[in-house]
Amino acid sequence: MPSKAVPTQRQKRLGHELRKMRVAAGMSAEQAATLLGVDRGKISYMESGVRTISEERLRLLARRCQCDDEKYVAALVAMASTGPGWWDQYRGALPQGMLDIAELEASATRMRTTCTVHIPGLLQTTDYALAVFRAVLPALPEHEVAMRAAHRRRRQEVLASAGAPPIVCLVHEAAIRMQFGGPRVARDQLEHLVAQSERDVVTVRVVPFAQGAFPGAGQTVLYAEGPTGQLDTVQIDSSHGPEFLHGAEELTKYRAHLDRIEDLALTPDDSRAFIRAIAREL
């Protein structure tokens, strides 16, 4: 029987990788079913992320598909054996996409993000986050606003954990100047951003208005590096929820975008001075 009616992004990604491995080897779903000793329907469940796969079967499939990249296979095994995370306590109460973002951040080895109109979620104060969620349309009930803010605080713990993934935040001047929650909340947020930027795992770089146009302007993008390059993921915010991309061309495109934005951004020290100057104006 399927393990879950609605698979998470991690489960979908694992299924996608299994299918990609099988197809690249020229193996049919029927042949895979015979190899693994399951019926044809279970292969569909595995490749859609609805059903898990054991380590023994995954390694057998990799061997028969002549996939000898042990680091990649080990990463797939880890994905298949990952148990519930803290975000599961919010399942059914918050949109699935919010839980998928938390899981993506928890499994990343390094992150880069670019934000044009708001401060990155992992670096937001509670008051700022509350103001962001209260701006959502249609308006959320206050108990859900509070729940989303609590979920965001839990997400931020990833940067304080042992072996925390380094993150580079490329923040546009527009986001620095936006006053979510009013001047006091905005000032406190900027002071918090400067303090966070002094942590070893956090780099904040500002893209000033003076730099003009840049690729992907207006998008909020998170590039999460996986244990191997094949397992990198791009997450994009949209009005209907987060989108997750992992095609090779898509990954190449967004790496190039982020590289270009880094070229345009101020240095970390100059960015701190820039943020402090705007905070003083408030």
Q: Is the pLDDT of residue 3 over 70?
A: no
Q: How confident is the model at residue 240 (pLDDT cuts 50, 70, 90)?
A: confident
Eight-class DSSP state of 117: S
Residue type, 166: P
> pLDDT tens-digit profile of 177-187?
999 999 999 99
Q: How far is the CA of 28 from the CAs of 19, 22, 32, 134, 190, in angstroms?
A: 10, 7, 6, 50, 55
Please give the average per-residue pLDDT across 18-38, as a whole number: 97
> pLDDT tens-digit profile of 162-174?
899 999 999 999 9
> pLDDT tens-digit profile of 34-79?
999 999 999 999 999 999 999 999 999 999 999 999 999 999 999 9
Residues in the chain, total? 282
Q: CA 217 to CA 207: how far, in whole Å?
A: 11
Please report how the helices 70-81 and 55-64 are oriented relative to each other, as an axis angle in degrees rounded to 10. Answer: 150
> pLDDT tens-digit profile of 256-272?
999 999 999 999 999 99
